[in-house]
Amino acid sequence: MTKGQLYGQAMIDSTICFLRQSDFETLLTTYPSLSLQLLKLNAKKYLAVEHQAGFLALDDVEARLAHYFLNLSATSDSLYFEIPMKLKELANYIGTSPETISRKIKVFEENKIISRQGRMIKLLDKEKLEDDFA
């Protein structure tokens, strides 16, 4: 690969579409609403990256996990929510190992802060999670 090229490998049968830069620019000038939507999408991605950087700056894995659970609870507007990824992916997101995630979830369960069935989490003591860990 040369500088400026990207590489990706499909895990399933896929179809790709190639669009020259000049055609893309014409598309954006012809349909300004498309430009606006792409700008909004980039801003959203930037905010997500910024949030993750701040999130990973927290020293304590328990604090990161607590923040993650509180955020999922707020997003779903419920004390009962599903972890939307496998524990291995969650560990990568939080910046730790899957074993550590399992241990920290067990600590939250033993302290009656959460209950868990598979990927389903119920916050039993949201205040304690906020006060003691977040």
Q: pLDDT at position 1, please?
A: 62
Question: Can you tell me the mean pLDDT for 109-126?
Answer: 94
Q: pLDDT at position 48, please?
A: 80
Cα–Cα distances (Å) from 110 to 48, 86, 98, in that order, read 31, 21, 18
Residue-range domain boundaries for the chain: 21-57, 60-134
For residue 41, give the 3-state DSSP assignment: helix
pTM over the 0.85 mark: no
Report the first-to-last Cα separation within the chain, whole angstroms. Answer: 44
For residue 109, what pLDDT band results from cuts at 50, 70 and 90? very high
Pull the structure tokens for residue 98: 């899957």
Does the 60-134 domain belong in CATH 3.40.50.12280?
no
Q: How far apart are CA 22 and CA 10, in angstroms?
A: 26
Q: How many CA atoms lie within 13 A of 13 on its CB side?
A: 0
Instruction: Provide DSSP, 69-131.
Output: HHHHHHHHTSSEEE-SS-HHHHHHHHTS-HHHHHHHHHHHHHTTSEEEETTEEEES-HHHIII
Phi, psi (rounded to 5 degrees) for 7: -130, 140
pLDDT in tens, 39-94: 999 999 998 888 777 767 766 889 899 989 998 999 888 999 999 999 999 999 88
For residue 121, what pLDDT band results from cuts at 50, 70 and 90? very high
Share of the chain above pLDDT 90, in %: 61
